[in-house]
């Protein structure tokens, strides 16, 4: 039996994505080319990047660098000036190779840390959070754009031929991924910051979660992401914007994305 997602992939896969392993040596370069070739996908990335901008603006009076973890094929530097882009593997689009679980920065030297769809790929996200708490200055911000635990997100993960999975019943904050991208648990951020919020607050008393922002209903899926050709033409952008606006009051239930904005508090 052929699963619907497999059939869709056979019919609609982006030509550049064919035969590409997400953990392969050429994946970042291929993803960059796909991103540059799809205007709707680039617009969606810009939506996510704007989620980082308030923290950048509100911390301008603080010392320290502004860092992106797991920059991949992205272009956050176009929105955040002076950004230090890092990735866990060498990349032409990152200035430093950095392991998120062992950050190569001194104590209290960072003003902002940004992650766009990265936390759920980190094998031990608790280790990263300890490192972030160590590296951020008082008042510094950690902003993560991650998958939401909505019906639509679970539906897409279940029915599309995807290299990630969704398991919100895990007991420990441990990711099953063995590579940079493959086999990651999309539910992990929701588990940490929503389901297990009391545990997070106990383990990280200096990290205070601001109200979570829920977003991204159809605007990402219609782009086809890095795997498929776009499901709508670029001319449909105004229609997509209208749908997103109409769905905005219901994003906690419908949205596939959420923004977790965390402030490092000063010690008493």
- Which helix (H) or strand (E) segment holds residue 12: the answer is helix 4-12
Per-residue confidence at 164, pLDDT binned at 50, 70, 90? confident
Phi (first) and psi of residue 34, to 5 degrees: -65, -45
From the candidate CATH numbers 3.30.930.10, 3.30.360.10, 3.40.50.150, 3.50.50.60, the one assigned to the domain spanning 4-264: 3.40.50.150
Sole residue written with tokens 């993560």:
144
Phi (first) and psi of residue 13, to 5 degrees: -60, 140
CA 138 to chain centre: 24
Our CA angle for 31, 191, 246, nearest 5°, is 65
Instruction: Tell me if 145 sits within 8 A of 247, measured CB to CB.
Output: no
Which two three-digit tokens encode residue 227? 């795997």
pLDDT at position 123 over 70: yes
Average pLDDT over residues 52-61: 98
Q: Crossing angle of helices 39-50/237-247, nearest 10°? A: 40
**Residue 3, pLDDT score:** 53
How far apart CA 106 and CA 127 sit, in angstroms, is 16
**Residue 5, pLDDT score:** 60
Closest CA to 83 of 58, 56, 48, 109: 56
Sole residue written with tokens 């992650």:
115
Q: For the whole model, what pTM was predicted?
A: 0.95
Per-residue confidence at 127, pLDDT binned at 50, 70, 90? very high
Phi (first) and psi of residue 261, to 5 degrees: -115, 115
pLDDT at position 177 over 80: no
Instruction: Return the percentage of the chain with pLDDT > 90, whole number.
Output: 83
CA 12 to chain centre: 24
């Amino acid at each position: 039996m052929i699963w619907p997602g497999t059939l869709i992939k056979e019919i609609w896969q982006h030509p550049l994505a064919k035969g590409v392993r997400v953990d392969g040596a050429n994946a970042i370069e291929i993803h960059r080319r796909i991103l540059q070739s799809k205007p709707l996908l680039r617009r969606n990335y810009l939506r996510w990047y704007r989620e980082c901008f308030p923290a950048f603006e509100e911390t301008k009076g603080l010392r320290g660098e502004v860092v992106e973890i797991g920059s991949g094929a992205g272009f956050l530097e176009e929105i955040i000036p002076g950004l230090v882009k890092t990735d866990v593997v060498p990349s032409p689009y990152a200035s430093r190779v950095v392991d998120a679980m062992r950050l190569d920065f001194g104590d209290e030297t960072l003003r902002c840390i940004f992650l766009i769809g990265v936390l759920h790929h980190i094998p031990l996200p608790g280790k990263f959070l300890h490192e972030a708490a160590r590296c951020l200055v008082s008042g510094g911000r950690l902003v993560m754009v991650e998958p939401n635990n909505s019906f639509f997100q679970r539906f897409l993960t279940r029915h599309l031929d995807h290299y990630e999975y969704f398991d919100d019943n895990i007991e420990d904050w441990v990711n099953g991924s063995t590579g940079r991208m493959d086999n990651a648990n999309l539910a992990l951020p929701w588990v940490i910051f929503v389901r297990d919020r009391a545990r997070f607050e106990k383990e990280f008393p200096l990290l205070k979660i601001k109200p979570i922002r829920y977003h991204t209903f159809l605007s990402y899926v219609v782009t086809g992401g890095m795997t498929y050709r776009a499901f709508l033409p670029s001319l449909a952008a105004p229609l997509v914007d209208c749908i997103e606006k109409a769905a905005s009051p219901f994003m906690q239930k419908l949205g596939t994305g959420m923004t977790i904005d965390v402030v490092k508090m000063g010690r008493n």
